Each structure stands twice: as structure tokens, then as C-alpha cells.
Structure 1
């Protein structure tokens, strides 16, 4: 019972909370709105609602709407240059994890020189300290998957080298986040499932992480419980605001898990997949390897009690074996119609699986050190092989 705890983000949570944004102090008078190249935030009126709130608050803004589902370094640098040219005071990420992650990275580069990869640790990154504090970040999430509204992390791909690597530190926490389930009812069924399982795995990985402790455990088990209770309903009936609210809260709690504990190697494996196949949705990549991944640890004997507690939280109240978690996980994937994801549909080939093993070690290998049982390259390859369809 000896720990440090730091989550400095003010969170406005609940249906309709976006409508209250103008009532809260914002960190400047000129904002850069960062969002995706897609049309959903415009089509469903979320961008207009944000602009209305900024107008009410007397804040001017510029739009940068080029972000891809898997954010790339080129857009981070382009967005940062735009922020510098226009003397931006703070950055708003509007959308899913990709938009908010990009807002964080742009905020770093808007106040610093050089290349973003100068500050990345892993791969070809130089791992340099960040000289100047980032611009303040406001996160407005329209999805429930990454928990990035409650953690400091951002993930970006350097396309020329197929490196997808995470970054973050105390200064990249959002200063203010809006989590409004009303903004999530428009998320399609498959993406609701992919995002929900991403939140689930942030929590399960954080619970199995060797750095876990009382605070991260509390957030993780509650997040797992909410996902087990309501994800299938949110997927099958997206207009159910109560179910959306449960998954939104689970996602924010998962972000808090990321802030107090963290991911283990499951995310290294999934990032290696989407580094080569950017159209392979992150959550889908995680789902595709999850049964084999957690079966490995269930059979290892290194975290039996934690696997059992996760199974109980996910909905199997009489769980007594570590494999009960894997069984319950697969049942939830079936209930969400995502149990048949095929790697081959995204261009992966069985005889090339070794390259994903190498990429996971080279770029996000640091996460392996937090696994409850040390994974060898042979173990990782077998997880990929057992997952391949």
C-alpha cells in the first residue's frame, strides 16, 4: 500500500455534457481542432456542436481534418506546423482515439522543434527528452475504445519504416475531457465491438501487468464488469443510451488503468499487425489474437487467480479456472459477432508471421517486460499461428 497516483484530467462525463463545454474554463483563446479525414463528426453534427460551444466561449478555431484511423507522423508534423503558423493556444481532439492521440502528438510538436520521432523511444526513435511543454490538450471522444481521454498516451506510425509506437508522459494528459455517450450512438455495430474490446484489453492487460496495484486493479475490474454487462447490447442496439453509457465509462476507466498500470505485450503484437496493415482496425487485430494470447497465460500457471477474477468480472460468476476467462471472452466475441475475424482477409500470410514477431519486439518490445510470464519469440509466433485464419 505504497504508491504514487497522478491523473490530472478534468472529466465531464454524461449524456449531453458537450453542451456544457462553454461553461468550463478553456486553456486559451485560439484552438486547433484535430479530427479525422472521415465524415462522421460532420455528418452527425458533432463538429458543428463543438464550434457552437467555442463560439459561446469566445474562442476562435482552425480545423485540421486529415487524421487517418491509424495516425501517421506526417500528419502530426503538418498539424503542428499549422498550429505554429497560427499561434494556437491549445489543441482539441474531436473523435475517436486516432483524433485525440494525434492532438496530443501535435500539441508536443507545436511547441518543439525537430521531428516527432526525435522524442520516440523504440525503433528508429532517438528517445530525446522533450524540451518544451506541449500545448494544452482538450479531448472530446466520440467513441469508446482507447481511453485516451484519461491517459497520456498516443500511438503514431512512421510509414516509411512500418513502425507503430506509443509515446506519452505527464505533460500529455488532456487538461479537460468530454465523455458524452450521445456522441457514440452513431458508431456502427462492428466498430462499437472493435472499440469495446480495445477498452477491455486495456483493462485486462493492465490487471495482468506486473506493475498493477490497488488503484489500477479497482479501475480494471470495474471496466471489465461494465463491458461484460453491456457491450453486446451496445453492439446489437446502438441506440441504447444506458448501454452506451456503461461502455463509455468502461472506456474512461480503462484509460485510468493505462495511467496507473499499462499495457502488456498483447498491444505490441496488435500494433505490429496494423503497422503493416493499416486497414486492419486496431480493435479487430486485438480480437484476432486474443483467445490464443490469453490461453497462453491461462496455461502458464503464473496468474491463475487474476485470470479467474477477470472471468468473474466479465460475467462468469462461478469461474474457478484460468481458462474460464478465455471461454467467457470468446462467448462475448460471439455475442458481438466478431469471433470470426480472419487475418487473411487483411492481407496477412501464414508464412510471413515471423515478421510480426520481429516488429513487435523491435518497436514496442518494452511492453514484454511487464508480462506475467516471459514470452519467447517462439511463444509469440505460436500465438500468431494459432490465431491465423
Structure 2
């Protein structure tokens, strides 16, 4: 019998939270000796004016700021290559500031990596899609400023993207990708439309739920220090962040979606996103996120409400949420107490302690915030199950974090059971 792990790790970026925090970044960067800054955003966020205000505040501190607003919503290998090329042509830079959703922050992570390290993007993508190479040189320091409440990318070591030629969503995972500073300013997400709030909020919720129900860190085989990865499984510190995130979501999520003028709910949602990121950025996520990659990567013609018109997308948080009820029904027997505890945190009035209690809480919430009624509503059918399973199985790094072994047959059951929820 193999000895089991006795050590868990915990890491997080420096954090600045509160209204007006985004206008203080110049102060922080000058303290690091930074002079030239690349600000990374997307056209939609740029149109809202937030990046310009952040850039102006940095310029007033004497910094030289160049803005890249070509980030692709749901980044691809092609869009990241374009961003890296821009940074190479306009650089060198001393630091990168990402102002936007997870797409902008992940694009900035790729720039920080490839501006200082040899090779191409595919060299660093997680195996088996890429080579899984670790950075050999220090990355440019990154300040992450989320304008959506959900991705948690400001706290994590992950850069997520679609590889277009393979029709698969994957990522780069390494501790060096974690931002040096996360600046969470609730004023920047105050104008987020309801559909975006709903999808991004499901990402918060699943970050908290998946990390809370993840495989316990001490159930893994013992590792040498150099073998330990950022996602080490559920642990006592990550649990605290996840529980607090779920408690905040219980009171704020529906209010933030259904009443855009409820500033208190928006601020609580931003805090929940931060807490969930601090939890899952160490414990990890599992089945709903593994399923989300092919769901988002193989979309045909679905265009969600409240997102920019154009190419079809299933937003990441929506893709994660669509199989969550069935996924947590499947994992229930591995940790019944945790699943029931999570259900009560999300809905203190709920009764019952069986495998359906958490899926029922999630289904009611999804209906209340206007999420699609399952995979069928975003264009998938039972004939797509094998294809989606194939894509999810490529996310072994995530599936290994599940609280019980997961086979292709298990995933097929979860995905088939997610075609319609109510």
C-alpha cells in the first residue's frame, strides 16, 4: 500500500478589494520599479471606459501605458498568438495589467509567459493536448483587475483557451501564472448585464462547490515537493473560502441578476467570486469544469442573451453550470455530508439529505436566474454525447480532482442526464 500525502499547499496573490481600488494600481506598480506597462482588455470592456480610466490613473503616476484591446472573448490559440505578437512588437514591458473578464486575464497570462520564456504556446499547454512544459524564466508581473464577477482567474494559476484545430478547450497550469496582485473593484462590474451576471455567477458557484467536494488532499499518494501541483485537493483552508463564498451566494446571487441596481448584491457577488477563487485556486475543480471545455469548444450556433453579437459561444460559466446538477448527483456517495452541507449553505430552508438535495437546489437557482434548461437548449442532443465525453476525458488533470474515479461511461451518464433540467 502506497503512503498517502500528509502536506497540502496554499497560495494566493496579493489582494486589494473595494470601490476605487482599480485607480490605485499606479501606486503599486511604481513601488515595484515598473515604468512601461501593457494594459490588456477587450473591445467591449474598453467601450465601457474602465480601461481608459485605469490607464489614465497609471499615467498620472508617471507610467508609460500601452493598451491592447484585441482580446477574444473565450480565447483561442490564434487570439493568444496575436496578443503575444502585439506585445513582442510593442515591448519590452516591465509589467502587464489585465482589465476585463477571465478572457482578458488569461490572455495577459499567456503574454506574461511567452514574453519571457522560449518556445510557443503549444509547448506549455497541458498534456496530452500540449507538451506541458514548465516555464524556465520568471514571468512578467501581472496585475489582474476583473470586470466580471465569476472567473476567479485573478487568483489562479490557470490560463484557459480553445485550440481551434482540435475543437478542444484546454489550458496552461503552473504556479508562475498566478497574478502578483489581484485588484477587485466592485464598481467595475456594476454595469454587467443580467445574462453575464448569471453565467459568471454560475462559475463562482461551481468553483466553490467543486473545490468543496473535491478529493481530499490526504487521499492522494505521497509526493515529493517538486511533484506537488497547485490543485492539491480539498483541504481545511480552501474549505473556509468555499463555504464563505456559498454563504454569500445564497443571499446575493438572485438579487444581483434580477436587480441590476442592487449595489450591495453586486459587491457581495464580487466578494464571493474572490473567495471562491482563493478556494479553488488551491483545491481544484472537477467534473462540471471538465465537461464545460468541450461544451464551450464545440458550440454550433448558440448565441446567448446579453453577450456581444457575433460568433456563437456558450459562455464558460454557463457551460460549467449546465452539467452541474447531474455531476453532483453522481459524486454524492463519495462525500454525502459535504454535498448536503453545500445545499444548506446555498439554501438554508432546504430539507432532505439524499443525493437529490444539491441538484434540486442548483436546478431551482438556474431556473430563477434564467440559465438555459440544459444542453438541448444550447444546441446539443443525445447524438453528441460521445463527442462531448471524448472532449471531457482529455481534462484528466481536472477529473483526477473528483472525489471518486470517473470513467467515460460515468461522464456519458452525467451528460445525457443534463439535456433537460426542468
Q: TM-score, normalised by structure 2?
A: 0.86
In the alignment, the residues of structure 2 paired with residue 383 and residue 312 of structure 1 have an alpha-carbon distance, to the nearest angstrom, of 23
Q: 1:20 to 1:68 in 2, by over 3 A?
A: same
Residue by residue, what CA displacement relative to the aligned partner does 1:303-331 show, whole Å, maximum 9, x if unpaired? 11000110111122564414222222222
Measure, in 2, the Cα distance between the counterparts of 1:90 and 1:221. Answer: 34
Kindly state the Cα deviation for residue 386 of structure 1 after the two structures are TM-superposed. 1.5
Alignment of 1:1-389 (within 5 A): 3-26=7-30, 27=32, 28-36=34-42, 38-39=43-44, 41-85=45-89, 86-210=91-215, 211-277=233-299, 279-298=313-332, 301-317=333-349, 319-322=351-354, 323-338=356-371, 340-362=372-394, 364-389=395-420
Contact 1:316–1:328 (Cα < 8 Å) also in 2: no
Q: Higher mean Cα deviation, 55-64 or 262-271?
A: 55-64
Deviation readout 1:32-69 (Å, 9 max, x if unpaired) = 11112x32x23322022111111112111222222222
Q: CA RMSD in A?
A: 1.8
Decide whether the 8 Å contact of 2:184 with 2:270 is kept in 1: yes
Deviation at 1:209, TM superposition (A): 0.8
Secondary structure of 1:148 counterpart? coil
Moved over 6 A (4+): none
Consecutive unaligned residues of structure 2, counting only runs of 5 or more, are 216-232, 300-311
Q: Partners of 2:9 and 2:349 in 1: how far apart?
A: 31
Q: 1-side partners of 2:94 and 2:373: how far apart?
A: 43
Secondary structure at the aligned position of 1:121 is classed as: coil
- Helix, strand or coil at the partner of 1:66: coil
Match of 2:225 in 1: none
CA deviation after TM superposition for structure 1 residue 184, in Å: 0.7
Task: Give, in angstroms, the shift of residue 103 of structure 1.
Answer: 0.6
With over 3 angstroms needed to count, the CA separation of the structure-2 counterparts of 1:183 and 1:324, relative to structure 1, is same
Structure 1, unaligned runs of 5 or more: none
Instruction: Give TM-score scaled by structure 1 length.
Output: 0.93
For residue 370 of structure 1, report the CA deviation from its aligned partner: 1.8
For residue 150 of structure 1, give the secondary structure of its aligned residue in structure 2.
coil
